[in-house]
Chain A
């Protein structure tokens, strides 16, 4: 039996025992529909209200500012469309974002561009970050929305959200942040961070899949994406996923309760991993070296292709991910790595290792021992590496 070393926590996480325990009562015992008037329904409603209050308090919001959704993608779609159309009603058709947002944001913006909106995608530079000054400079009288992710899912950069929020508040522009990779991992407070709208997904912090929420500050208009019943104060139709919501509340409470200890542990493991893998010649750390998620490692190794690296790591029980084209199902490598200005051939050789507090130092040692062997093997059979070594092709990293 090969062991399993799971280092793909930015994709999804294992559920925590607390989250599972919090969900179980809502399948058989408290199965009611919170919209029902009878006792069985009202017990479910109490659970829903309790989870909402708990989640709101954990991010600095009021309970009536939390709208439960099916996850981060839905929350992104809803927030961006609501803010865009609200702007349009006032004649504003400009949106500001970054070049390395999640596809849930980028593809929504592409659709809006087809509808006549104009979008400015801020350059994220080679280090994978932006400044609030760059946002301020891009704001125009017709800017309806600024949507900037809190932390990048691939390269781990943490963006200056508080200052961007401050700029947006001063200039009276609605500010949305996709905080899917941040909430539960680093301190996030919607009031302190000047956030108007924020998307969150439960399964990134040891909660269940298929559930998340949109924070929308009181007074910021929000329209429904899904028509139907009057759930979520008429902003999101459909019977609430009570078990999922209660699981999310428990997972978030645990993640935030243990945050300082988790961050310290992850940072130590991350830095050890980066140091170990950086010993591989012609490798490069991608993303912001300083303002970085505690659990993110993203490296490129020249002369090899990411998918073959992942498959060989998988054969060793190491579960990771890559921004290579072959893993994305498209022919271009990750838009995030390209946004950092990496050449295609370098971006194809990327490896993302995203940790969690469940990882151990022994696992990190195992990864540091295995990755160089696999990189060397793949380089030995790579005509690109051969050309690099012979000097027929210039080393890019």
Chain B
């Protein structure tokens, strides 16, 4: 299908890291069902490293592919590095997303940040609040079609 790159279709039809972690150290959930996208990311952290990551996603093909790619990109990485992951990097790793699907990669970035914030909160680790803007601000959709 020409709508998506081969990479997107690969990560959509064979998603990596799909599932849940019952003993997760941090869980991030972003999006809302009304808008058609919800992403939930589970992380397991040891010595500041994301040793395992899983996701569940309700959404379109690019939302599932973005979740899959984003989890691949942070697995085994230090939290500091995971926090630097941008939606653009996720989209680029997928060989691009159609313009009206870029918000799916934004959701992936937000879900990861949200899971890391949850980990910090659970463990009483101090952080700069400015690093975690309220993801709900991003959900304001503008209908410009």
Contacts and interface: CB of A to CB of B under 8 A. Distances in A.
Interface of A: 303-305, 307-308, 311-312, 314-315, 324-326, 329-333, 343-345, 348, 381-386
A348 B33 contact: yes
A387 B104 CA distance: 21
B36 A348 contact: yes
Nearest to B39: A383
Interface stretch (B43-51, B58-66, B80-88, B115-123): B58-66
A321 to B, nearest CB: 13
Contact of A305 (B9, B18, B59): B59
A305 B143 CA distance: 20
A305 B56 contact: no
A311 B63 CA distance: 13
Contacts of B64: 308, 381
B13 interface: yes
B136 interface: no
B113 interface: no
A2 B139 CA distance: 38
Contacts of A348: 33, 36
B18 A308 contact: no
Nearest to A331: B141
A386 to B, nearest CB: 6
Interface in B17-59: 18-20, 29, 33-40, 55-59
A142 B137 CA distance: 46
B125 to A, nearest CB: 25
A315 B20 CA distance: 26
Contacts of B18: 381
Interface residues on B, range: 20 to 34
Given A311-B1, A329-B145, A383 B56 contact: yes
Contact of A330 (B55, B60, B101, B143): B143
Given A311-B12, A315-B13, A383-B40, A303 B58 contact: yes
Given A308-B64, A330-B143, A331-B143, A344 B12 contact: no
A344 B57 contact: no
A331 B60 contact: no
Given A330-B143, A344-B33, A381-B64, A314 B1 contact: yes
B58 A383 contact: yes
B1 A345 contact: no
Given A311-B12, A315-B13, A332-B143, A383 B38 contact: yes
B40 A324 contact: no
Contact of B58 (A329, A330, A343, A385): A385
A348 B9 CA distance: 20
Nearest to A344: B34
A307 B29 CA distance: 21
B56 A381 contact: yes
Q: Point out which of A344, A383, A384 has the most chain B C-beta atoms below 10 A from its C-beta.
A: A383
Contacts of B13: 311-312, 315
B100 interface: yes
A325 B143 contact: no
Contacts of A329: 100, 145
A331 B37 CA distance: 10
Contacts of B141: 331
Contacts of A326: 36, 59-61, 101
Q: When A and B form their complex, which 3 residue pairs have the shortest distance between CB atoms, in order from nearest?
A: A326-B60, A345-B33, A307-B60
Contacts of B58: 303-305, 382-385
Contacts of B37: 305
B39 to A, nearest CB: 8
Nearest to B13: A315
A311 B1 CA distance: 8
